[in-house]
Amino acid sequence: MDEAGLSQQIFLDAHTPVVILARPQMGENIGAAARAMKNCGLANLRLIAPRDGWPNPAARPMATVGTDILDRAEVYDTLGDALHDIRFMVATSARPRDMEKPVLTPRLATKQILEEQMQGIRLGTKVALLFGAERSGLDNDELVLADCVAQAPLQKGASSLNLAQAVFLMAWEWRVAGLGLSENTELDAIEGLSAPAELKARDFFLSRLEDTLDEKGFFSNREMAPAVKRNLRSLFARARPTEQELRTLHGIVTLFERDSEK
């Protein structure tokens, strides 16, 4: 399969990166992580020795749209067990470690994840994102199993993310990079604007407004009049009114004219 074909498959549930939480403590955080995964299109969660056992009733309310991810979560005793089908793993860490391991920003790590993911689709293997326990992060024995470390350039002295935020950060970066890769136009879409009215219609409105204002003596300072008119025209040029909006504006001018005829 060619690159283009592969990039169409990166968002299929079975092919998305596996999120592995090592020794998670709070059920609430596991639930919130599942929601963050779902928000970004990730589907596969593995838990290593969750402190309070599994299932954990505290997880469910926080998961909202992501409860199906909790229902399908796999639980393992050790990290090694959870890696049986993983070919490439990125560990996340808030602090530098004294370890011979490439440390990348999340954005750079994500590029590599996507490449490995496409490779993995060919080979029938998976990639994983590894997150440590809330209090202590990953220990060195866990970290050493990863291919590289993602470390976010956060505020000095405040670089420790909530577990679900860390999951969200990596999931979001993965999603945006993946959408870019599959040349999904969603990414650059600027929606929500109706087409502006044609210039002729805008000009017609502005001329009418000027005439009406003139009749009422708004431009009594003849020297200033051209500048004031230009200002009004600039303002409406920037606004680029739609046809509907021009109708509203015409309504105001009509009211203005009628009102003063009384």
The residue (of 49 and 228) whose beta carbon lies closer to its own copies is: 228
In the sheet that 148-150 helps form, which strands lie side by side, from edge to edge?
Answer: 74-76, 44-48, 18-22, 126-131, 86-92, 148-150, 103-104
Minimum CB distance to its own copies, residue 81 (Å): 26
Task: Kindly give the interhelix angle for 163-181 and 106-123, rounded to the nearest 10 degrees.
Answer: 70
**Nearest-CA neighbor of 110 among 160, 55, 178?**
178
**Nearest-CA neighbor of 43 among 56, 52, 33, 29?**
33
Question: Which element (helix H / strand E) includes 5?
Answer: helix 3-7
Per-residue DSSP letter, 188: G
Does residue 96 touch its own copies according to CB under 8 A? Answer: yes
Residue type, 225: A
Does residue 168 touch its own copies according to CB under 8 A? Answer: yes
> Which residue in 1, 4, 12, 235 binds its own copies (CB under 8 A)?
235
Does residue 102 touch its own copies according to CB under 8 A? Answer: yes
Minimum CB distance to its own copies, residue 51 (Å): 18
- Residues 154 and 85: their CA atoms lie apart, in Å, by 32
Question: Which element (helix H / strand E) includes 149?
Answer: strand 148-150
Window 109 to 148, contacts with its own copies (CB under 8 A) = none
Does residue 256 touch its own copies according to CB under 8 A? Answer: yes
The residue (of 124 and 217) whose beta carbon lies closer to its own copies is: 217
Stretch of residues binding its own copies (CB under 8 A), selected from 46-54, 78-86, 105-113, 121-129:
105-113
Stretch of residues binding its own copies (CB under 8 A), selected from 17-25, 48-56, 73-81, 192-200:
192-200
- Residues 181 and 160: their CA atoms lie apart, in Å, by 30
**With contact defined as beta carbons under 8 Å apart, do 91 and 142 qualify?**
yes
Window 195 to 234, contacts with its own copies (CB under 8 A) = 213, 216-218, 228, 231-232, 234
Minimum CB distance to its own copies, residue 21 (Å): 17
Stretch of residues binding its own copies (CB under 8 A), selected from 17-25, 83-91, 124-132, 172-180:
172-180
Size of the site for its own copies (CB under 8 A): 78
The residue (of 57 and 221) whose beta carbon lies closer to its own copies is: 221
Does residue 97 touch its own copies according to CB under 8 A? Answer: yes
